[in-house]
Amino acid sequence: MKINIALLAGDGIGPEIIDQAVKVCDVVAKKYKHTINWIPALTGAAAIDAVGEPYPDSTHAVCEAADAVLFGAIRHPRFDNDPSAKVRPEQGLLKMRQKLGLFANVRPTFTFPSLIDKSPLKRERIEGTDLIILRELTGGVYFGERGRKNGGDTAFDTMTYTRSEIQRLAKKGFELAMTRSKKLCCVDKANVLESSRLWRETVQAMEKDYPEVTVTYEFVDAVAMRLVQWPNTYDVMITANLFGDILTDEASVISGSMGLMPSASVGEKNRLYEPIHGSYPQAAGKDIANPLATVLSAAMLFEDFNLTKEAKNIRDVVNKSLAAGIVTEDLAEKDKSYKTSEVGDWLAANI
Ligand code: IPM
Ligand code: MG
């Protein structure tokens, strides 16, 4: 198979972790006789510096034309404490999601046998955790009307959802549930928010089309609590953009390190794969960041192209590296850590 992949390294540790994923993918491609054509393009602060905007049209054209996008991270601290900045790297990420129509963000959370005791949560709480948060990604409060009034002293952001936006996300949730344990949890705040009531109404109306799926409805504040108490009772969860943003960061600690969790963002036509962690600016250029979330995101990419053996090979070698202690400092015992690039080399050599 020939796959064209747009390569958006972005900011901070982005370029370092992306390099490792590319190494691994190239070896996998060679082993299974595929050709990957990488097409690098600018995004984030790097793109602001080069061309004045974080998701330039030229980058969009590359992403649109490719079969998939592999993305590193976006964010630069120099914009964080400058509320007056006219352009921000994060705007590039949002624009990219919207322009590519990536309405469903698939964020799995699972545990690794050799890392169970690295999690801040007790073994018996997390063992067997294998859940997927399906986060709506191109609507809600991230994209609703916002602004200032009363001479700037009042600010507002609105959470707006249409029935069709909810339906297309929920459809993916039901379909995913059908391939797993047939359990779907709709996470909302329907006791307070009108948009959440529309979520509930819409999902309830869809239940009859998926009679085998058991649907539960839970409030997001309660889920925030239960997710760390009993994560292994959840399977597929669907939720709005902001709720999903918060819950997926929370869920990432279950595995033991934020540097481990991959994600896919999909729409009708385009697909993008990225680690769920950010650009970790303090570590940029130091060759210390954990590349596994990006490598596992590449495994999700192969999986989506029905290249199941290839995806499994990547996941197996990642598990092997964890078991062998070939890990970056976030996971290593004292003085036993490996560099980002060394982990990448080891993975590539062991595919
Ligand atoms: C994420 C990030 C982004 C988001 C930021 C960087 C805009 O936190 O992908 O979860 O809020 O969606
Ligand atoms: Mg986030």
CB atoms within 10 A of CB 100: 22
- Mean local confidence (pLDDT), 113-135: 92
Domains and their CATH numbers in the chain: 1-110+260-351 (3.40.718.10), 120-255 (3.40.718.10)
Q: CB burial class (10 A; 0-12, 13-18, 19+) of residue 124?
A: exposed
Report which of 35, 45, 33 is spatially closest to residue 9, judged by C-alpha positions.
45
Which residues have any ligand 1 atom within 6 Å of their CB? 75, 90, 93, 245
Res. 259 pLDDT band, cuts 50 70 90: confident
pLDDT of residue 258: 82
Cβ pair 129, 164 in contact under 8 A: no
Q: What are phi and psi of 260, to 5 degrees?
A: -110, -20
* Residue 129: band (very low, low, confident or very high) from pLDDT cuts 50, 70, 90: very high
Cα separation, 17 vs 8, in Å, equals 11
Calpha distance 240→266 (Å, rounded): 15
The CA 323 to ligand 1 mean position distance, Å, reads: 30
Q: What is the pLDDT of residue 182?
A: 98
Q: Calculate what percentage of the chain has a pLDDT beyond 90.
A: 90
Q: Which positions are annotated as active-site residues? A: 142, 189, 221, 245, 249
Instruction: Give the pLDDT mean for 320-333.
Output: 94
Check whether 71 has a pLDDT greater than 90: yes
Q: What is the pLDDT of residue 124?
A: 92
Ligand 1 pocket, mutate which of 74, 90, 102 (most atoms under 8 A from CB): 90
**Per-residue pLDDT at 290 exceeds 90:** yes
Q: What is the pTM of this model?
A: 0.94
Which atom of ligand 1 is the closest one to the Cα of 75? 6
CA distance 266 to 270: 6
Kindly tell me if the per-residue pLDDT of 314 is higher than 90: yes
* pLDDT for 256: 83
Ligand 1: centre distance to CA 104 (Å): 14
Nearest CA to ligand 1 atom 8: 245
Residue that the structure tokens 């936006």 belong to: 165
114 pLDDT more than 90: no
- CA-proximal residue: ligand 1, atom 9 (nearest): 276
> pLDDT tens across 145-192, in order?
999 999 999 999 999 999 999 999 999 999 999 999 999 999 999 999
Q: Which residues, 6 or more positions from 257, have their beta carbon under 8 angstroms from its beta carbon? A: 115, 118, 290, 330, 331
**Hey, what are 278's tokens?**
């950010």
Q: Which atom of ligand 1 is nearest to the CA of 263?
A: 9
